[in-house]
Structure formats: C-alpha cells, structure tokens
Structure 1
Amino acid sequence: MRKVSVGQVGDGASLAGDRVVAAGSAARVLVAATVRALRGDDCADLGHATPLSRFTGAPEPVRRAAAARAAGRLALAPEQVAEVDAERVATWIVDQYPSHRWPGVLVGSPHGAAAHLAVALGVPWLPAGFEMTVHWTRGAVDRPRAALDHGAALAGRLLAGNGAVHVRQVHCPASRGASAGATVALAVRWRALPGAYARFLAENLAPGAPVLLLHDARTWPVLDEGRGHSFQLGSPVSGLDPVDFHPDAPALRQVLRAAGGDGACWEAPDVSCPAAYAENGVEPGFEHSARYWTGRHGHPLHRVLVPQPDALSAATADLYRRWLRRAGKTGDRLVVECGRLLDPWQVIRAGMVPYWCENATRRRVEGVEWWLAGSEPFSSVDVLPEPPGVRSPALAGLPQWLAVAGFGLRRRALDRGVARGYPVASVPTRRATEVLRNQPYDLPVPPALRMADALAALRDAGAHQGLLVS
C-alpha cells in the first residue's frame, strides 16, 4: 500500500483519477490517444454522442441551458473537491501505459503535436497538470468576481490535501460559453515531479533514455496572492487578447450575449502578475524537479519552449514529412486536425503528415494557412475542424477552413459531418477516426524516430518557427 503523507487524502478516501480529470480536457484526450497509438489502436472508443447534438438547431437560450446542464452533470460536486488526490491522478495517468523499456518520454504542456511526436518516437507522453471542473450552483458567466470567490474556496479545499500543486482558475466565457456560469474550471499543475511519475520513469525508462519537456510559454494577466491559487480572466485559448475582456470591449459584449449574460455586472478582479504563464504552462518547480531527477538517474533532459501552438504544430508536421520520406513514402498527404479531433495511429497507418490546430479560432487557422503557404505543396489536404460548441467573434468561419483545404493540389476535403453543425455542434474524438479510416493504407509503419533526429529537426524549425530547444 502506498504510504500517505500527513495532510494528504489516502487512496481509500480519494476519488479515482478518471472521475477527477475533466472529460474532454486536452490532457485527458491526448494521453488516451497516445496510449492507444503506442499499442497499435485507434481512437474509435473515445467520446460518444452527447445530448447537445439534439440541440444544434434549437434556439440559443435552449441550447445554452442544455450546455450548462450537461457541464454540471459531468463536474465534481463542491464537497468532492476535498477528496481529490493529485498523486492518485498521476498514478492513474501512468498506469494507462504498459510496463516497457521506453527509449524516452515526453512530458509537459498539452499539445496535439506532442502526441504525434510521442507516437513517432515510440514513447509515452505525460502531462504536467490536469483540468477539473466543479459545479457552481448559483453561477453566472458575467460575474467573474463571484467566480473568483467561489473558486478560491474550492481551491482551499483542494490545497489542504495537496500541497505540491498550484491551482489556476480560468473564467473564460469566450472559450467555455454557458458552461462558465455552471462550473468552475481549475487547471491543477504539479509543482514537483509526482511520485508516480518518478517511479514510472525509474522502472520503465531505458538506461540513458532522454526526457523531452514541452513548455507552453504563452502569458496572460493573472491575480496571484501567493496562496497556491491564482485567477485568470480569459485565456489565450479563446483567440482573444486580455484587453478584449475589459467591460467596454465590443468583443466581450458579443461573447457575453452568446453565453447568456451581459456586461452590466462584469467586474474584473485586480491583476497582480501582468504576464504570468497561462493555464497550460509548466510550473517552475516541476521543471526543476524533473531536471534534478534526470540528472541523478543519468537521463538527459531537453526543453522545448513553445511561444505559440502553431510553432510546434508546424515543426512536427515538417518532421513527419522528412521521417516519412526517409522511409520511402511520399509525405505528400496532409491532415489538419483540430482540438480533440485527432487520431495518431490512423495518421501513422495512412502515412499522412499531421498538423494540429489547438482550436477553431481564426489565429490558429491563420497559423496553418501561413505554414502551408510557405511549404512544399501537398497533393491532398484533409481538414477536420472541431466545432467549439460556442459562438465567439474570434472563431474561424467555414470559408476559412475551406481555404485551408484548398491548398491541396489534387484532393481538397473538409469533413461534411463536422461542418454540418459548425460551430455549435459537439463532435467526439472518434469522428476523426471514422474519417481517417477511409484513407488508403500506407504500410509498413516507418521505424521509430530517434530522439536525436527529432531534436535536430525541432532545432532546425526553431530558427523560423520560434521554438527554443535546449
């Protein structure tokens, strides 16, 4: 039995990891996709049709109410927060990977390209944190100060039993819509390498195997009073800027109307850190702890600082193209994935080049357009735009997604099933699997990429993509 330190919740009283980690959150989906791809499986079992699919054409108030109810059903109850054990969550994550002498490991910020990179290398990917949502009984999308008060109390309960984490609360109606008034979103980030991670690495890394740490370097204004809980109003994931969350901003008024609120009660809490790492960043203590552990155990640690998601997506796509061509494949068929719509195994099986868009905002779609404009043309381009389920002035329209598909020389495909309910539908991860299964096979799978080759390719891309590889 695992020894439980003073102040922590024991296994018998704590919630299981799959109950704690938010369904559909980036880290959860990416771990699941990576695990499946490493064992030669696709993502056909990930996600299911939600009740929201019945409300795509319903009036906005009806659809918003359905979204809020669905979010509340999946969230933890406030009294359950004290039962969360972050160490047990880490154990749940590593237990999904089989015991094996892995030639390396990727850790850090959630990013779809990290899953593709891990699969090409034949190594696991481990997140540096996880997201959880908690029910907010009398919540409102347009009352951020009330959200802060409620979230601070919840964070206090969580921190009482988990001293080695930092809790970043994110109130963002632009990316979460009506659910931001029904639940509180908490990004829980480890401030040190969890014991479960250290044990997994010690037992499963091959001698001298490298560790690659990916760090999302985007910043955002936050309120942090040094008590282990910080508050972030808005998010870079929204596709908006911090100024757009000012009460006089036209973008905020549009966002709040779409989410069922208004700006009359919008009172933004003060900011103490104007440029802190945003919710997907890595805690400095986590990196220091990982560096100390790898140094003691003879594993080199390399860090990749990612200024924007597009940089890692483009570098990984370029890396895949070279890797496929060295294996005798064309490397001329591209799939543009988005959000949860990805399937690393089907991409490998079809011999395709993956480019991952974090979400359907104009900025992320412009990123793939700029990369395509400067790349050698692809014979085919398949596009899988994930509907965000919300309306926002920052979203890309279907014409912009069609323009991405238009870069294909012979095949230009935008998935009609996804486009039908865009942008308010809810589409499971398995939709990507269904689409990619129709691609022709291109077997055998190339030999696993070596970490040294991957690092060299990322450094090459860093010169013009902005990646910093150390």
Structure 2
Amino acid sequence: MNAFYKENLEPGGTLFLVDCQCTWPTTRVGERHFFQHGAVGGVTEEEYLHGGPRVERFLEQMGSSQRRWEPPAPDGESPEAEWGFEPLLGEDVEHFAKHQGYRVKRMVFREPEHLSPLVADLYRWWYGKRGFMSNRLLVESFILMEPWWNLRIGAAPFWMVFNMEPSAKQLEYYLHSRAPYDHIHLMLFAHGVESIGLASIERWQTLLEQARTEGSFIGVDKKAYPSDFSAFARYYKELRKVPGRYPLPPPLSLSQLYGFLKQAGDRYAVSWQ
C-alpha cells in the first residue's frame, strides 16, 4: 500500500477519508466479529428488532407463521456493515500520512446518501466552469453507476443507496430543492424480491416526470421490476444511446473543489475536517 501511495500521490498530497458515520445495532460474537441483523434499506432498525405492522403484513404475505423476526439481542452499536466507517482505519491512515508527509481531508456525514446532493451539485457547478450548463441528471442505484458516461454525456450524478422508498424520498427532496433538470435518467438496482419499503415503478415514474423535457428509465424493464436481472447488462447499452457527447475534462483540482465548498457554506449535511 505504501508503494501505491508513493506512485500515485505527489509529495505533500492529500488523502481523502469518506467517513460515513452510519451505525447499526450489533451483537458481539468475537474480539473483532459482530453480527448485524438487517441493513440500510426499506426496513427500519426498529422494525428489524421489534417488528411492526409492515413486518407482520409482509411475513403473512410470504406464508410465514412468524409475525416478527427474532434476532439475537444487540449489545452495542457498530459501523453499519455496508456503509459505516471503521474509526481504526482512520487512525491508521492519519498515522501513515503524518509519517509520510501527506495531508488528510475527512468527509464526515451520517447517512450514505447525504453525500449525493453535494456530488450532483458539484458536477453541475463544474460543468458550468467548463463553459456549458448541465441540465441532465443521471440517477444511479446501488452498484449501477457510470462515472465515465456521466462526464461524456454531461450529466450530474445522483447516487441512491437502493431502490427503496427512503431513496425515492431523498431524490424527491433533491429535485424539489434545485433548479429543474431538462433531462432525468434513472437506473434501478434489481434485487429480485417484493420487499418492505420497495418503491413501486409508478413511484419512480412520478419522479421522472419532474424533468422539464424528458424523463426516462435506463435499462429498466418496468413489467419485470424488481426481478429484472437483465438490467445489469442492459443499462450500459441504453446509457450509450443517450444523446450528447462532451470531451473528457482534466481532473477536478483541489482548488476548484475547495472553491465550490466555500461557496456552498453549510448547505450540505457533510462536514470537512
């Protein structure tokens, strides 16, 4: 790892820590091992641990005789298994940086999607600095993302954790609080099951209708969703058909990033330390 940093970072360069402070109730099963029941998505921590009306209806619909899950009793909170940041990793990075002469910039936020509005607005601002106004939004979903094509089609990227209602609400709030986009394109992760909190295809369609000119799904079979596993191959082919091509820019400089953050002030639920 030392060799990687030395080959790719100039002397005095900056290491960025993406410090998502999302936690989850866990049960310790060993010195460095924890059991986590559930995860960030459509079901709340409370529902995973104690059940509720939605859990009862779901289990009944699935033909189960159970009316709630019975996980081990949690004995603490840990960094959420998918998105949480382990503090010990941060300590290691800072120790390494101090002895190698690097700087550390830590992006701190509570929920994984808290970074999404900042990133989308940063891209839109950056495009403006390059001489064109971006009126295209590409909504990404879990592992369905295309950073390279965002730049080629001049789209601002808005990333969602999953295809669940909490993510739909985050996107809805973003669209209602920003200048309208002419074009909105939406990719949806297909996890294959009817689950608690799943946002329906009609719900996503309503969000696409916020576009002033065109709102479209990318790689989504609306009749098969959420069991549309061919979406994992189809989304890339359909994304290539989106019109408009822009030359790839040079990397965003740190001075540009810091300039954007200075203008933004405390607008975002992200702190920089």
Q: TM-score, normalised by structure 2?
A: 0.90
Distance 1:234 1:324 in 2: 39
1:198 aligns with 2:2: yes
Distance 1:290 1:226 in 2: 25
* 2:254 pairs with one of 429, 434, 451: 451
| 1:249-264 alignment, distance < 5 Å | 249-256=52-59, 261-263=64-66
Which of 101, 107, 115 pairs up with 1:312? 115
Shift of 1:437: 0.4
Per-residue Cα deviation, 1:440-463 (whole angstroms, up to 9, x for no partner): 232222222112322443565572
Aligned CA-pair RMSD: 2.3
1:348-406 deviation line (CA, Å, top 9, x unaligned): 11111111111111111110110110101111111112222121121111122112211
Q: Residue 22 of structure 2 is aligned with which of 185, 200, 218?
A: 218
Identity, % of aligned positions:
26
1:281 corresponds to: 84
Query: 1:424 — aligned with what?
Result: 227
> Post-superposition shift, 1:334?
0.9
Task: Give SS of 1:465's match.
Answer: coil
1:6-405 to structure 2, matched below 5 A, reads 197-224=1-28, 227-236=31-40, 238-246=41-49, 248-256=51-59, 261-263=64-66, 266-273=69-76, 275-279=77-81, 280-405=83-208
Question: Does the residue aligned with 1:366 lie in a helix, a strand or coil?
Answer: helix
Whole-angstrom CA distance in 2 between matches of 1:260 and 1:198: 54
Structure 1 pair 330–294 and aligned structure 2 pair: CA distance change class (3 A)? same
User: Contact conserved, 1:207 with 1:298, CA < 8 A, in 2?
Assistant: yes
For 1:220, give the aligned amino acid: W
User: What are the within-5 Å matches in structure 2 for residues 450-469 of structure 1?
Assistant: 450-458=253-261, 461=264, 463-469=266-272
Name segments (4+ residues, structure 1) moved above 3 Å.
Answer: 253-262, 415-418, 427-430, 455-462
CA separation of 1:262 and 1:198: change in aligned 2, threshold 3 A: farther
State the SS of the aligned residue for 1:224. Answer: strand
How many Å separate the matches in 2 of 1:442 and 1:422?
30
Describe the shift of the 1:329–1:220 C-alpha distance in structure 2 as closer, same or farther (beyond 3 A): same
Unaligned residue ranges in structure 2 (runs of 5+): none
Q: Per the alignment, do residues 339 and 419 of structure 1 end up closer, same or farther by CA in structure 2, a change over 3 Å counting?
A: farther
Matched residue of 2:179: which SS? coil
Q: Structure 1 residues 253 and 457 mapped into 2: Cα distance closer, same or farther (>3 Å)? A: farther
1:263 deviates by 2.0
In structure 2, the CA distance between the partners of 1:252 and 1:334, relative to structure 1 (3 Å rule), is same
Cα offset for 1:260? 6.7
Q: Structure 1 residues 399 and 260 mapped into 2: Cα distance closer, same or farther (>3 Å)?
A: same
- Give the match for residue 117 of structure 1: none
Partner Cα separation in structure 2 for residue 375 and residue 308 of structure 1 = 20
Contact 1:462 1:468 in 2 (8 A): no
In the TM superposition, what is the alpha-carbon distance from 1:250 to its structure 2 partner? 2.6
Counterpart contact for 2:108–2:271, Cα < 8 Å: yes
SS at match of 2:243: coil
| 1:267-293, Cα deviation, whole Å (9 max, x unpaired) | 3212111x4321121221110000111
SS where residue 206 of structure 1 aligns? coil
Contact 2:187 2:219 in 1 (8 A): no
Using the alignment, how far apart are the partners of 1:248 and 1:320 within structure 2? Answer: 41
Provide the residue aligned with 1:407 in structure 2: 210
Query: Take 1:351 and 1:453, find their aligned partners in 2: how far apart are those partners?
Result: 18
Letter of the 2:80 counterpart: A
Once residues 244 and 210 of structure 1 are traced to their aligned partners in structure 2, the CA distance between those partners, rounded to angstroms, is: 41
Per-residue deviation, 1:235? 1.1
Equivalent residues of 2:52, 2:68 under 8 A apart: no
Task: Report the alpha carbon displacement of residue 427 of structure 1 after superposing the two structures with TM.
Answer: 3.9
Higher share in helix: 1
Specify whether residues 253 and 447 from structure 1 end up closer, same or farther in structure 2 by C-alpha distance, changes over 3 A only. Answer: same
SS at match of 1:425: coil
Give the AA of the match of 2:244. Y
**TM-score, structure 1 length as denominator?**
0.54
SS class of match (1:407): coil
**Count of residue correspondences:** 272
The CA deviation at 1:298 is 1.4
